[in-house]
Homo-oligomer: A and B are copies of this chain.
């Protein structure tokens, strides 16, 4: 298992990359984040959490929340119903997000692109009485941190710039694949995106995917088969249009967010979270990806 010294050396090696990417600026609330943050944390069966750099500082988890939503939906819906509304395939590059949705009759390609996550949010809205509250409960339990909260200013800022997401929702509605009120679902969705967690929180929270579905504190969250399936979806679709490059360089199932966080998993061994706000061209953390690449190399570990 990696010790603190290893993580510190990886942190030091990735530090010079800061300044070479771009902080997400599509909403003002995210554009104000300090660019020079860099953190890494690992959670393993025996050793608990080890970290380096800014691994205790909370940040906006953004699209990483899509994994938590998927987990909730998987526990609420039958497999067939679930996958009749969202696919399992990579989506190709983003230029054609809307036309793809149009051609494929309003069924998004996978749960990790916006369209897919919005359908999942719509599914949760139909079954949960208080989706925002339930999400907070889940991430607090998984990370063992009762202080996690969703940043209302960030959620509001996202909502104020939500025209494109609204277009996606209404297009799916026109195909009969969106049931609830668009505004309400988007509010839940942005609330989930605006949750703030640290690398340590997220490494703990994702440990279940390295542990066949069982959480850090011992509760079985999902079955082993579901855990494998989520890892499979993350491996093919978790990194926007950089999934192939990430598999090639890092070789772990993972999920990134525009807040600069990336979670990754070595099944059977550990969960990892890295954070650095500057993004590469695919929208994934630049220095974060580098830290994961270095970790895979130093440990001689990947799923391939």
Contacts and interface: CB of A to CB of B under 8 A. Distances in A.
Contacts of A173: 163, 166-167
Given A96-B96, A100-B92, A110 B244 contact: yes
Interface in A100-117: 100, 102-104, 109-110
B92 A96 contact: yes
Taking chain A's interface residues, is the majority helix, strand, or loop, or is none over half, making it mixed?
Answer: helix
Nearest to A236: B244
A249 to B, nearest CB: 8
A127 to B, nearest CB: 22
A288 interface: no
Interface stretch (A9-17, A50-58, A189-197, A225-233): A225-233
Interface residues of A, number: 50
Interface of A: 87-93, 95-96, 98-100, 102-104, 109-110, 163-164, 166-171, 173-174, 178, 227-229, 231-233, 235-237, 241-245, 247-248, 251, 253, 267, 302-304
A145 to B, nearest CB: 27
Contacts of A104: 93
A178 B166 CA distance: 13
Nearest to A98: B98
Contacts of A251: 228, 232
Contact of A304 (B103, B244, B253): B253
A237 B244 contact: yes
A102 B92 contact: no
A243 B103 contact: no
Contacts of A174: 163-164, 167
A46 to B, nearest CB: 21
- 9 tightest CB-CB pairs across the interface, nearest first? A92-B92, A90-B90, A99-B99, A231-B304, A232-B247, A163-B174, A167-B170, A164-B174, A163-B173
